[in-house]
Structures are given as structure tokens and as C-alpha cells.
Amino acid sequence: MEFMILEQKRADCYKLLAALFYPPEKQTLMDEDVCGSLFQILDDVSPEASAYASGMRNAIDRTDAKELSIAHAKLFVGPFELQAPPYGSVYLEENKMLMGDSTIDVMKMYQRAGLGLSEENKDAPDHIAIELEFMHYLVSKEVQSMQDGDMNEALEYLKMQHVFFDKYLSPWVEAFCSKIIEASEVEFFRLLATCLSIFINRTPVPGTIPDRAGAST
């Protein structure tokens, strides 16, 4: 499949995966068929992960909305020990605390990309959903630059993806997902964790942009 289409799908994968780490609103997720969309685009981008997205679609249907909320809270919100802390610094910092140096580095990456966290956002900047959204942004901007024919800018966004992915995202996702798989009693989250883990493992940021990739639009 053409590079740019794949990249657009890769961007969407990040966005939908980000959305699935928010407190679950079952009806909305079903109405929008978020898992179904994810299944479809993963099929092209990361086929090994797509089966799990399909499983998620069934699992969410089978799981009571309250159970989903309870499980999500236990994993990522609390109020007691988090089963799977969704913050990069917990995995990247020696003391497993928030707002470590890695968090500031992540914030600097956001700044470099021209982004800031919105006023409404009150969570730590290295929350998994925020980091996945950031990857969505970077890949989308890469595609947009290609569409605009600005290959230098597209390469710049690709470079930022490499740094962010290699240094701040992929180093902790596997440990994070393992915690979810180990702790959660709800199948949906175990599948989501497996799906994310495979996606991150098997979908590297492309080494470069192929020649003529931007020419077909």
C-alpha cells in the first residue's frame, strides 16, 4: 500500500489507541465503533495487532459499562495503588515518581513540535493517552507536510517521531502493558494492552520517506 496512506493509518492508530486509554464511555465507544475502526486500520498497519482489536470489539460489547469503569479506575486512576500506572516517568525514573526529568524532556518535545497541553488537561504530561496523541500529531503532520509537498518538514516530523518513540514511548510501553495484562480482570483491557504492545513492537517509525511518496496526491 502506498506509503502515505499507510502513514495516515498509522496516525489514526495512535489516535484511537490514545482514546481507548481515557475513562471508558461504553456507549460512545460502541456508537463510534472505535474498536472496529482500529481493527480495520491495524489490518494494514500492524496485522498481528488487529486480531486483538477485533477481540476488543466483542469484549466491550460483552462487558457491563460499570465494570469497564471500575476496571479502568483500578488500572489507571486509583484511588489505591495503580495496577498499571499510565505515566512514562514511573517506568523511566529511578524513584518511580511523576514529574521526573524524563517528564520535562517529554514536555520539551511537545514544545519543539509547537504543542502545549490544553488548559483542561490536568493529568501528567507523560500519560500514555497524551503520548499516543502526540505520536498521532507527529505522524499526521508528517503526512500533511507530504501532502503540501514540503518533504523537509515531513522528514523533520519523522525525525521527531524517532526521538520520541525510541527515547520516551517505546521504552516503557511493554512493561506498562504487562502490568495491565497481569492485573486486570477485564478482558477488554488485557486485549487493549496486548494490542498496544504488539503495535508498538511491530510498527516501528519508518526509517525514511520513500522517494516520490509525496507525489501521488
Partner 1 sequence: MKIKRRDFLKVSAAAGAVATLGIPKLNAFAEGEMKKDLGTAKGEWMPTTCQGCTTWCPAEVFVQDGRAVKVKGNRHSKQNDGFLCPKGPISLQQLYDPDRVKVPMKRTNRKKGRGIDPKFVPISWDEALDTIAEKMMKLRKAGEPEKFMVMRGRYTYMRDTIYAALPKVFGSPNGISHSASCAEAEKFGSYFTHGYWSYRDYDLDNTKYVLIWGADPLSSNRMIPATIKRFGDVLDRATVAVVDPKLNTSASKAQEWLPVIPGTDGALASAIAHEILVSGLWSREFVGDFKKGKNLFKKGKTVDESAFEEKHTNGLVKWWNIELKDKDASWAEKITGIDDKQIKRIAKGMGKAAPNVCVWMGPGAAMHVRGAYSAMAVEALAGLMGSIDHKGGSMGTSTIPVNKIPEYGKYQDELAKKHSKMQKIDQRGYLELPALKKGKSGGGVVTNNVASAMLAKDPYDIKVAIGYMNNFVFSNTGAQIWEKALEKLPFFAHVTTHASEMTQYADIVIPSTITMFEKLGYVKAKANGYATCTLVQPVVKPLWDVRADETEVVWDLALKLKEKGFANLDDYLRKEYKDPETGMEPTNGLEFAEYNLKIQTAPLWDGKKDVGGDKINGWQAFLARGMWNSSKYKHKARWGKFKTKTHKFEFYSETLKEALEKHAKKHHTDVDGVMKVTNYTARGELCFVPHYEPPFRHGDEKNYPFVFIDYKSRLNREGRSANAPWYQEFKHVDIGDVGWDDVLKINPSDAKKLGIKDGDMVKLTSVTGTYKLKAKLWEGVRPGCVTKCYGQGHWAYGNVAAKDYKKAIARGVNNNEIMPFDIERLSGSTVRNGGFTGIRVEKA
- Min. distance of Cβ 173 from partner 1 in angstroms? 16
Q: Is 108 a binder of partner 1 (CB under 8 A)? A: yes
Helices 187-202 + 47-62 axis angle, to 10: 160
Kindly tell me which of 52 and 76 has the beta carbon lying closer to partner 1.
Answer: 76
Q: Check if the beta carbon of residue 129 is closer than 8 Å to that of residue 22.
A: yes
Kindly tell me which of 4 and 191 has the beta carbon lying closer to partner 1.
Answer: 4
Q: Check if the beta carbon of residue 129 is closer than 8 Å to that of residue 86.
A: yes
Site of grid cell 504543542: 115
Q: Is 92 a binder of partner 1 (CB under 8 A)? A: no
- Of 17, 34, 92, 200, the residue at the interface with partner 1 (CB under 8 A) is 34
Rounded CA gap, 202 and 147, in Å? 26
- Contact region with partner 1 (CB under 8 A), list: 23-31, 54-62, 159-167, 188-196: 23-31
Site of grid cell 465494570: 67
Q: Is 170 a binder of partner 1 (CB under 8 A)? A: no
| Residue 87, helix vs strand vs coil | strand
Kindly tell me which of 8 and 50 has the beta carbon lying closer to partner 1.
Answer: 8
| Residue 121, helix vs strand vs coil | coil
Kindly tell me which of 140 and 194 has the beta carbon lying closer to partner 1.
Answer: 140
Binding-residue total with partner 1 (CB under 8 A)? 72
- Min. distance of Cβ 20 from partner 1 in angstroms? 9
Kindly tell me which of 82 and 151 has the beta carbon lying closer to partner 1.
Answer: 82
Tell me which residues in 50-89 interact with partner 1 (CB under 8 A): 66, 69-70, 73, 77-82, 85, 87
Rounded CA gap, 156 and 158, in Å? 5
Q: Taking the CB of residue 140, how many other CB atoms lie within 10 A of it? A: 18
Closest C-alpha among 196, 197, 193, 195 to residue 184: 193
- Of 136, 165, 168, 169, the residue at the interface with partner 1 (CB under 8 A) is 136
- Contact region with partner 1 (CB under 8 A), list: 53-61, 126-134, 158-166, 198-206: 126-134
Rounded CA gap, 11 and 111, in Å? 19
